[in-house]
Amino acid sequence: MHDSYDVAVIGLGAMGGAAAYHLAARGQRVLGLERFDPAHDRGSSHGGSRIIRQAYFEHPDYVPLLLRAYELWEALERDSGADLMSLTGALMLGRPDSRTVAGSRESARRWGLPHEMLDAADIRRRFPTLAPRDDEVALYEARGGFVRPEAAVRAHVALARREGADLRFREPAQTWTALPGGQGVRITTAAGAYTAERLVVCPGAWAPELLADLGVEFTVERQVQYWFAPRGGAGPFAPERHPVYVWEDPGGVQVYGFPAYDGPEGGVKTAFFRRGSPCTPETLDRRIHPEEIAAISAHLADRIPELPGPLLRGAACMYTTTADEHFVVAPHPEHPQVTVACGFSGHGFKFTPVIGEIAADLATTGTTAHPVDLFDPRPRRTAATQHEVTQ
């Protein structure tokens, strides 16, 4: 049996690394366990960039968390010295009644977020890389942009270690058991067993396995990111000229993308949003297939005509999606000493530092001042039999 800890964290990807840092910064004795190396490419926190935005079409209730996340991203940059966030502006495009546009506009209206509404002619004039149809509009917010996932994970891990956290990589948790009466947890790995007063589980795409007793249905999906070399060169796609975007077509298909943030050699990244195929972390197909490249090239051809040039590279990652596409961030319904943070459903990375703060709140006090009712798993539970988790 190893030493006992105040809080153990299973999973040191985006959310787990942030949780470990916030806990250690509060003086907690923290154990972190991770099956891979820091900032690995085997899960969901890789690919060089993630969009960050505030006018949130998914639900207006996310906006207060986003405002806090922006503050924490800035603090993380300052404390780590890392370049993590770039504000390039963000466009949410589609027909006026599309979820992407109407939902973004509702969030901006409800929270008084600075934004502009652009018609098709405005979009073409200000962003000549884009070719919207005459019946399409966009919400533009200057505070949109992107964050760098690998650098963010490394920054949280480094700061957690600086604050004294005991972080163990290549040591996955095999089982965790909530002890009777809420009296802590016991965790086993190949190296032995650990005890902690409380546990935070941030399993990413391993949620169906590690949180089998949560009673929430998770779907893990393969998603592909693409980097193209624009036919006319990357100049028009420079960050000061080309914003991040989410673009919804009349059929509800969304595509998203970025400027050429790593210069001409890095290409221009784009991907479909929520157009994946079911998988598991063990069966994820990491190959990029010709028919996939053809499909996204065809989709972009009349929207961003210069973009679908030669493919420079592609990368597969995973979305772990709940039925309602909202997160799960809460005390475990059966084990109050266990906090769960999972099911970030393809739109969670931008919240990383505030999820870490919330997880630290819940693990140390059992409550948080942040609005998290939307993320409570109890109303979303299935009739599955509850049982002790074996991972």
For the stretch 196-248, pLDDT in tens is: 999 999 999 999 999 998 999 999 999 999 999 999 999 999 999 999 999 99
The rounded mean pLDDT for the chain is 95
The pair of structure tokens assigned to 60 is 């207006």
Considering its fold, how many domains does the chain have in total? 2
Does pTM surpass 0.85?
Answer: yes
The pair of structure tokens assigned to 211 is 């949180």
- pLDDT at position 387: 32
* Whether residue 130 sits in one domain with residue 247: yes
Q: Is residue 57 part of a domain?
A: no
* Whether residue 235 sits in one domain with residue 200: no
Q: Is residue 55 part of a domain?
A: no
* Whether residue 152 sits in one domain with residue 138: no
Instruction: Kindly give, in sequence order, each residue whose CB lies less than 8 Å from that of residue 116, ignoring residues fewer than 6 positions away.
Output: 139, 140, 141
* Whether residue 125 sits in one domain with residue 246: yes
Q: Is residue 192 part of a domain?
A: yes
For the stretch 59-106, pLDDT in tens is: 999 999 999 999 999 999 999 999 999 999 999 999 999 999 999 999
SS3 85: strand
Q: Is residue 391 part of a domain?
A: no
Q: Is residue 11 part of a domain?
A: yes
Q: Is residue 63 part of a domain?
A: no
Compute CA distances 37 → 43, 84, 295, whole Å: 11, 20, 33
DSSP 315-365: EEEEEEEETTS--EEEE-SS-TTEEEEE--TTS-GGGHHHHHHHHHHHHHH
CA 295 to chain centre: 24
Residue 173's domain is classified under what CATH number?
3.50.50.60
* Whether residue 160 sits in one domain with residue 174: yes
> Domain range for residue 156?
1-48+148-216+324-378
Residue 131's domain is classified under what CATH number?
3.30.9.10
